[in-house]
Amino acid sequence: MSELIAILGTSLILAGAAFAAGILNALAGGGSFLTFPALVFTGLPPIVANATSALAVSPGYLGSTLGFKSELRDLPRRRLFREMTISAVGGVVGALLLLVTPSKLFAGVVPWLLLFATLLFAMGPTIAKRVSQHAADDQVLARWREPGLLAVAIYGGYFNGGLGILLMALYTVTGESKLNTVNALKNLNSLVLSWLSVAAFVLAGAIAWKQGLLMMIAATLGGFVGARLSKRLPVSWVRLGVIAAGVVMSGVFFARAIG
């Protein structure tokens, strides 16, 4: 009986975290601040938890990409194919790097990754504003778009936190002036690199399927709820909640690493 209660409790924690992550991703992003720690706290090793978390939030990227179909149609197909290929390669490389990272080393890196992603999320609007001003004065950085995309994709395959902000900053600073186009490219490349990295995790046997499938369903439901809440809740409130969660989770994982 106690074992059944423990299983139900674990399932509720994971489903609740994934549902809330789906809502957050629909409103402002940052869902991985909930899914990854929840998986670790329920007993999964950090590398398996990271891979399973990537699986849990991956369906949301498809809906986000479909929402910008018209913007993607207006872009040259050769450019889209080239950038999707770069994102795919980077996502797989990042996933492979994660898989060959010793568990103990990754556990020590996790607090820093969470803190970096939290700071990146907190500074997102400021970064977007500054890089857009810089891009207006200097288009020379456009030549660094593809190398920069590869670097960001590798990061995204290794650890997903803050990926969207990095991609938006990259496209803005390298000369993309239309916000909808920036969002379209961000969503498309996030979809490609995340699904390819998840495929690598699946082939390597790094996915905890029971937890992952439960969280995929819960995150998808949360995304639908978040889409409706986005019309009612101030985004600034949601952003503060995500930042607070990121700070708390970073602190908890630093404490675990020290202890």
Q: In this structure, what DSSP letter does residue 126 have?
A: H
Domain tally, the chain:
1
- For residues 164-186, one letter each, b for 16 or more C-beta atoms within 10 angstroms of the residue's C-beta and e for the rest, the string is bbbbbbbbbbbebeeeebbbbbb
**pLDDT at 125 (0 to 100):** 72
- Report the percent of the chain where pLDDT is more than 90: 35
Q: Predicted confidence band at 16 (pLDDT cuts at 50, 70, 90)? A: very high
- CB 182, CB 71: distance < 8 Å: no
Following DSSP, what letter does each residue of 38-77 receive, concatenated? HHHHTT--HHHHHHHHHHHHTHHHHHHHHTTHHHHHTS-H
> pLDDT band at residue 80, thresholds of 50, 70 and 90?
very high
Alpha-carbon span 18 to 25, nearest angstrom:
10
Closest CA to 28 of 230, 215, 172: 230
- Average pLDDT on 145-163 reads 89
The pLDDT of residue 172 is 78
Average pLDDT over residues 28-57: 88
Question: Which pLDDT belongs to residue 139?
Answer: 55
Domain range holding 196?
2-258
Give the pLDDT confidence of 161-175 residue by residue, as tens digits: 778 778 877 887 777
Predicted TM-score (pTM) of the model is 0.81
> Is a pLDDT exceeding 90 seen at residue 157?
yes
pLDDT of 192 = 94
- The half-sphere exposure of 95 on its side-chain side, counting CA atoms within 13 A, is 28
Helices 179-203 + 46-57 axis angle, to 10: 130
State the average pLDDT over residues 93-106: 92
Residue with tokens 């980077």: 90
